[in-house]
Each structure stands twice: as structure tokens, then as C-alpha cells.
Structure 1
Amino acid sequence: MTLKYAYHSAIAGIGATPFTKDSGRTPMDQAVEACLAACEDAGLPPEKVNGMVTYSAEQNPEIEVARNLGIEELTHFSMVHHGGGAACGVVAVACQAVYSGAADYVLCYRAFNERSWHRFGAGVQDRPAGAEAVEVSFSWSSPFGLVTPASWVAMFATRYMHEYGATTEDFGRVSVVDRAFAATNPYAHFFQRPITLEDHQNSRWIVEPLRLLDCCQETDGAQALLVTTAERAKDLKQTPAVIASAAQGVAEDQHMMRSYYRDNITGIPEMGLCARQLYQSSGLSADDIQTAIIYDHFTPLVLPQLEEFGFCDRGEAKEFIRDGHLERDGRLPINTNGGQLGEAYIHGLNGIAEGVRQIRGTSMNQIDNVENVLATAGTAVPTSALILSQPS
């Protein structure tokens, strides 16, 4: 799905809770706080909101959040599946709602205690066997020890290294860049705690070739975005981040983080599908992007994303990174909030908020002359992506 009418939509408000490792609060409390903050940021009374789009993994139902916000009626509510792959997808669906007139103002939110309560990285080894499709899918990989997200990604990373000559140092350079930006972002968990490539190489193995510092954080917290039409956004408090294009993608023989049965597993074809849609519908190209939020739940999958979006040729992301292009003064500074490795892991929604700040010119690590920001969602799953642009 690509939205050729996305230029008519904008993100008008962003809000978040503190990002912690032990919130001591319920996810519902955090969801409501983030949504209230997004409305306040936009200068919109929360009772004006009449739409909500969430992740299917969200455990804070829109009816409960709406009640706590004082919203009496919702004319649109929907969910997007596939975990972090939904990050840009929820914004895409919100665009559809406001463009079609199904809703005027739509909140997208993600809230959880992913560190102190349910930890996604713990794996699927305790899931009972069953005949339903989701359980059957695990039967192809779990018996061989592939039971955690890190182990699933390790398969792709190993093949990428074999085929293109990438090294663990190349993965580590992504982590070093993220942590450098986090170190100057007071809202990041790793504020004032940069790392070196040596630190990365000395961190313990999780699943070879992934080290501890290749793996994103587990975070307690919440992030919310307020989406409306670009026309309505002009009358609100903040400079709107216009949604130039938003897309979702499922590629051939798609599996949830375990698409091992394709002829080639060194690319991310579902992200390539998103890239083609974004560029075609917006008329933009890689040359028009000044900074990007690249989904970084595991560092190895950052490399093929750079290739799918045309910032470098296939297999050449390692050279692109070695040349410093992801750094503050590089061709494509990425994850200027610190990313999910450095700021927080909120299933990618906090990265989109950073894209909004780059458009507004209010990022803690502001890049000069930003006109267009790329944001991507979870990789190795059905995914999504979007481009945010300056208002005309």
C-alpha cells in the first residue's frame, strides 16, 4: 500500500513519557500520558480526537485510552500487525483516515513495560505447540534452536557477511554512531555514555555474529503521534511534518523474522518494495533525503536497508558506513535521537517522533538544511516506511 495522497496529511503533535528500565507504572498510565502530551504539543484539546490507530501488539485498547482522555466518540479505530513492522504503517493508516474523512484527528501510540514486564527478546521457547498457523510456523525453526529474535537475525547476518565480506566491526560502527547521538540527547537512556568500536568488539556474544551492543534496548515507556490533514495542521501550534509518502510492504514468501526460504536472504525485499513506492509516489529519491531514522533493533539489518533505499549499491553498505556517511557530518546521518540502541526501544515510534523534530528544527542533534527525512519500520517482518517533508 502506498499513499499517493499522503501530502495531504501531517504529523502535528508528538508526545512521550520518560524512557526507563523500570517505570513503576502501568502501560495504560504511560499511554495516556504520551497521548495527552501529543495533543498538548499540537495545541489540540484531546476531546477533539476522533480516531486511533495502534499496533496489534498494543495491550492498551483504544476504548480504554479514549475513556481516560475524555474522548466520547471515535469514528475510526484500527490496528496494524507485525510488531515493529507496524511503526510507519500506523501513520499510513491514520493518513487514510484523515484523508477519507473517517476522522479529523488521529492518535497513534505505543506503550509498554518491555523491560520490567514482558520482554520480547526472551524468545518463543515457552509457546505451546498447536495447529494454528502462527504456532505451526515456529515448528520449522524452533527445534533447531532458533527461538529468539537475535538468533533469527543472526542467520541473515551470517549470510550477508559471507556474501559481501562485511565484518562484525561494520555492524559495530552502526552501534557507535547511534550511541554518539544518544550521548548528546538528554532523553536517551545512554545519555553521556558514548562507546568506541573497541567497546563493541569487547561486548559479549549474544548469538554469533551478534554481540550485546548489536542488540537494541528493552524499554519501559510510551510514544504518541497526532496525525491530521496538512490543512488542519496549519492552524495548530507546531510546524507540521508533512507526510510526503507512506508505504507498507510484504514480499514473496514472507515469514515473521524467518524468511529463510528465498533464493537470496542478504536483502530485505519487503523494504525494497516500500522504497519503490515511496520514491514513485513522492517523486523523491535517495538524493533528496538529508537524514534518516533506520530501524535498528539489530545492527546487521541496517546495512541492507541502506542498499534497498539506494544510498549505496548492493553489498556496498559496509564501505558507505566505513567512510563515515552515517555520522553527524556524513552524507546520511542516521538515528539522531540515538535510535533504538541508544535512546529507547518503543517499536520504532520514537524514531518517527525524532523525524518530526528534524523537520521542525528542534532535534537535540539537529542536521542542517533538512527538507526530507526517511523513517523505516521493523525489518525481517512485513514492514513499512515513510518520508516526512517540510510544509510547502
Structure 2
Amino acid sequence: MSSIRGATAIVGIGQTPYYKRGTSPDPELKLALRAIVAAATDAGIDPSDIDGFISYASERNDAQKLMPALGTKEVRFAALTWIHGGGIPGALSIAASAIVAGQAETVVVYRAMAEASHQRLRVAVAQNDTAAQYLVNGLESPAQILALRTQRLIEAHGVPRSTMKAMAQAAYHHARNNPHAYGRNTVLDDETYDNARLISEPYNLFDCSRENDAAVAVIVTSAERAKDLAKPPAYILAAPMGTALGGGALEENIRPFSCAGQLSVARRMWEQSGYGPKDVDVAQIYQNMTGMGVGSLIDHGFCTFEDAGEFITFENLIAPSGKLPVNTSGGDLAEGFVHGMGLVTEAVRQLRGDSFNQVPDAKLSLMTGGPGDTMTSTALFGTAETL
């Protein structure tokens, strides 16, 4: 068991609307502020009481920029996780650790993106984080790089292509019930999916996440304080981060093969939380591409290479009655993409009982960080009954 197990909780969530990339009416800094204020209001606290600021990836809205508008009394702790989509929920682990260590009392974890304020996300990732062995061979986008691993998942490990379609269709199915989802008007039937244009084999258009302008924030505080705030707490039971041997800049050399690169963090998450795959009621799985979502479910032990085709089906992945409802807001594919941060708010909504695709009596909610990233993370949240 970890010392942070159940010691902190998410008590406030906030997010802006999702805009098409480059079209936000507000600059990135204002989006961040709007989400943070919304999260504080949701928690029933004054934004000026926030004393810790944590983000990840290429977040440019640091604490000292946010302070004047928030009326911040004092910043006691601030940090940035080094990697992109893999950094959330690792950033939550840093928040929990800071609170347990007494470095801060009220921490906001946030991510904001507005491409008109800076450059395209894909360009920034290629310039800053893509290993040289890919670039010299003409591979500069996440879709191209992660397609290699997914092809291996299909060809060498026998995972059927149908699993990717199931992940995509479940996401768009859930988005239809979410009035805030950017992809809510898309009906992803078999014909639409099968005939979509190819992006990077085996990925077609609907296997890939969209890029959106938006901001998302959550407030983390101690479990003791959480009891007295406005909304039911979502307790952080475990949120490990890391990279396995053969990962990092070596990337494709991880042994044993892990499409998502999450075998080691998933193992630690189960050990630290005291739970296992069969205990989880609902899951928010980071999907920049569907093949990575499939790999994440395998790495977390919900299925194996051999039985993935039986477990990862549309019927099993949808709320309210699936064996493991996945991405119940629409997720990165169909709700909107802010480096996975929107998955955290949906994980919390499920435990509060106010999701647009609610899983009945949900007590344990999983949220995974960016699979396939050079560093990744995962987390399990629970209600008071799970402590």
C-alpha cells in the first residue's frame, strides 16, 4: 500500500467548452483561468486559496502568470511533469505527494491548449519530444509512430482489428449523450468507420483523437478537508508514473512487449491501491489512437493478447450495462482532446453519479495516462466506501 492511498481527494472539477483547434475565442491563459475558477467554484472554495499549481506536457500557463487574476495569496508549491499525455494522472500523484508532505493544502492540476496562441500541438511534440530514430526515417507524428506498435499488436500478437473499431464506436456512442462533446453529432456505424480515410495504417480517421482548444482543471486537497466541501470526494487510491526498462528514448525496445508501455505502472497501481482489474466499475482510457487504448486495457490486465477480441467489444464497453464501460464522456476521440485531462473530470463524475452515461453504483473509477508515451502514468479513484 502507498502512503498516499486515500490521503487526498479530487473535490472540484472545471472545464471550458471544446473548440476546434485554433478557433478559441479566448487565449490559452484565459482558458486556463476559466477552468481553474470553475473547479474552485465546484469545490466551494475561493480561487485565491489555491496554494499549489501542477501541470504537465508543454503547459505554458505557469503559476506566476495565473496569480494576479486568481488573487493568489501565496504559492507554496508548483511543478510540471516532464512528458505529454503520459503525464496525467502522474501530475495528480505529485499533487497528492505535496499535500501529504505538507507542502501545500489546496492544489490545482490543470491543462490548457489554444493553438492560435502558440503552434500546432503535433508540431510542438515533433520538435521537442520525438526521438531521432523516428525523425531520420520520416516518422514525425504520433499517428505514424504508434501505428508501428499497433501493427505489431495485430500481426505478431494476434489482437483483432475489431478491438480498435469497438473502442472508437463506444467513444462516439457515449458522446451522443454528452451535450458538451465536440463529436456528439457523429453516428459512427460500421459503414462510416470502415470507409473512413486512412491516416497511418492501420489507423483510419476515427481511430485518431482530434485536437481541440480547451482547458480542464481539478482541485486536490486532503481527505480530511474533503469531507467538508461541496461535492462528494473522489479519493486518489494510487497514481504511479514511470518508464520501464527499454522505454524512454529507446522506445521500441521494451521487453516484454507492451504496446501501451504501461505494464509496470499498472502493476504498481494495483499493488498500491489494493484492488485489481475485476474490481473496476468504469474506466477512462487515454486514446490518442485506438490501438493504444487496446494496449492499455491489455497492460492493465483486463484481458490478454489471446482473449482481447472477446473482451474488447462494443457491447462490453458501453454504459450502463457493459462489463467495463470505457470513455463514458466520449473520451479523447469524441468528447475532446486536451492531452487526456478531460478523462479525469469524467472519472470523478462517475463517482459522483452525475455522468451523462452513468454506470450504476460506480465506486472504483480508473483513469490511464497517455499509452505509448516515453513516460506514462495511471490512477485509480474511489468513493469513501473503497478506503
SS of 2:215 mapped into structure 1? strand
Return the letter of the residue paired with 1:281: Q
How far apart, CA to CA, are the structure 2 residues paired with 1:167 and 1:116? 41
Paired residue for 2:13? 14
Deviations 1:99-149 (A, max 9, x none): 111111000110011488532234777x4xxxxxx68x7331212121111
Paired residue for 2:94? 93
How far apart, CA to CA, are the structure 1 residues paired with 2:162 and 2:272? 36
Q: 1:316–1:119: structure 2 CA closer, same or farther, 3 Å change rule?
A: farther
Note if 1:309 corresponds to 2:310. Answer: no
Deviations 1:273-320 (A, max 9, x none): 111111111111111100000111100011121111111123422221
Return the letter of the residue paired with 2:135: S
Paired residue for 2:47? 46
Paired residue for 1:353? 345
Gaps of 5+ in 1: 128-133
How far apart, CA to CA, are the structure 2 residues paired with 1:379 and 1:225? 21
Return the letter of the residue paired with 1:53: I
Q: 1:153–1:267: structure 2 CA closer, same or farther, 3 Å change rule?
A: closer
C-alpha displacement at 1:191, in angstroms? Answer: 1.7
Return the letter of the residue paired with 2:275: L
How far apart, CA to CA, are the structure 2 residues paired with 1:116 and 1:336? 30
What is the aligned counterpart of 1:202 among 184, 195, 201? Answer: 195
Paired residue for 1:36? 37
C-alpha displacement at 1:23, in angstroms? Answer: 0.9
What is the aligned counterpart of 1:153 among 123, 146, 149? Answer: 146
Return the letter of the residue paired with 2:107: V
Report matched runs for 1:235-314 at 5 Å: 235-255=228-248, 259-263=251-255, 265-269=257-261, 271-314=262-305
Paired residue for 1:70? 71
Contact kept? 1:173, 1:197, Cα under 8 Å: no
What is the aligned counterpart of 1:228 among 210, 221, 228? Answer: 221
Paired residue for 1:102? 103
C-alpha displacement at 1:333, in angstroms? Answer: 0.3
Paired residue for 2:113? 112
Contact kept? 1:115, 1:219, Cα under 8 Å: no
Q: 1:114–1:215: structure 2 CA closer, same or farther, 3 Å change rule?
A: farther
Note if 1:219 corresponds to 2:212. Answer: yes
Report matched runs for 1:127-166 at 5 Å: 127=127, 138-166=131-159
SS of 1:140 mapped into structure 2? helix
SS of 1:319 mapped into structure 2? helix
C-alpha displacement at 1:164, in angstroms? Answer: 2.8
How far apart, CA to CA, are the structure 1 residues paired with 2:169 and 2:290? 10
C-alpha displacement at 1:265, in angstroms? Answer: 3.9
SS of 2:381 mapped into structure 1? strand
Greater shift in the superposed pair: 302-311 or 370-379: 302-311
How far apart, CA to CA, are the structure 2 residues paired with 1:262 and 1:111? 31
Deviations 1:165-198 (A, max 9, x none): 3344331221111000011100100123231122
Greater shift in the superposed pair: 81-90 or 308-317: 308-317
Report matched runs for 1:174-193 at 5 Å: 174-193=167-186
C-alpha displacement at 1:356, in angstroms? Answer: 0.4
Return the letter of the residue paired with 1:77: A
SS of 1:108 mapped into structure 2? strand
Contact kept? 2:238, 2:269, Cα under 8 Å: yes
Contact kept? 1:170, 1:321, Cα under 8 Å: yes
Q: 1:123–1:112: structure 2 CA closer, same or farther, 3 Å change rule?
A: closer
Greater shift in the superposed pair: 349-358 or 184-193: 184-193
How far apart, CA to CA, are the structure 1 residues paired with 2:34 and 2:201? 39
What is the aligned counterpart of 2:366 among 361, 374, 392? Answer: 374
Q: 1:46–1:116: structure 2 CA closer, same or farther, 3 Å change rule?
A: closer
Return the letter of the residue paired with 1:337: S
Tell me how large the CA RMSD over aligned residues is: 1.9
How far apart, CA to CA, are the structure 1 residues paired with 2:301 and 2:288? 21
Return the letter of the residue paired with 1:283: G
Paired residue for 1:130? none
Greater shift in the superposed pair: 194-203 or 286-295: 194-203
Deviations 1:244-299 (A, max 9, x none): 1111121012136x712345545334x11111111111111111100000111100
TM-score (structure 2 length as normaliser): 0.94
Matched pairs, number: 381
Contact kept? 2:183, 2:334, Cα under 8 Å: yes
Deviations 1:5-52 (A, max 9, x none): 231100000001111111121000000000000000000011111111
Deviations 1:146-170 (A, max 9, x none): 1111100010011111023334433
Contact kept? 1:4, 1:245, Cα under 8 Å: no
Q: 1:259–1:286: structure 2 CA closer, same or farther, 3 Å change rule?
A: same
Paired residue for 2:311? 320
Q: 1:283–1:124: structure 2 CA closer, same or farther, 3 Å change rule?
A: closer
Report matched runs for 1:339-350 at 5 Å: 339-350=331-342
Deviations 1:348-392 (A, max 9, x none): 111010000000001111100101001000011111111110124
TM-score (structure 1 length as normaliser): 0.92
Q: 1:5–1:139: structure 2 CA closer, same or farther, 3 Å change rule?
A: closer
Contact kept? 2:159, 2:305, Cα under 8 Å: no
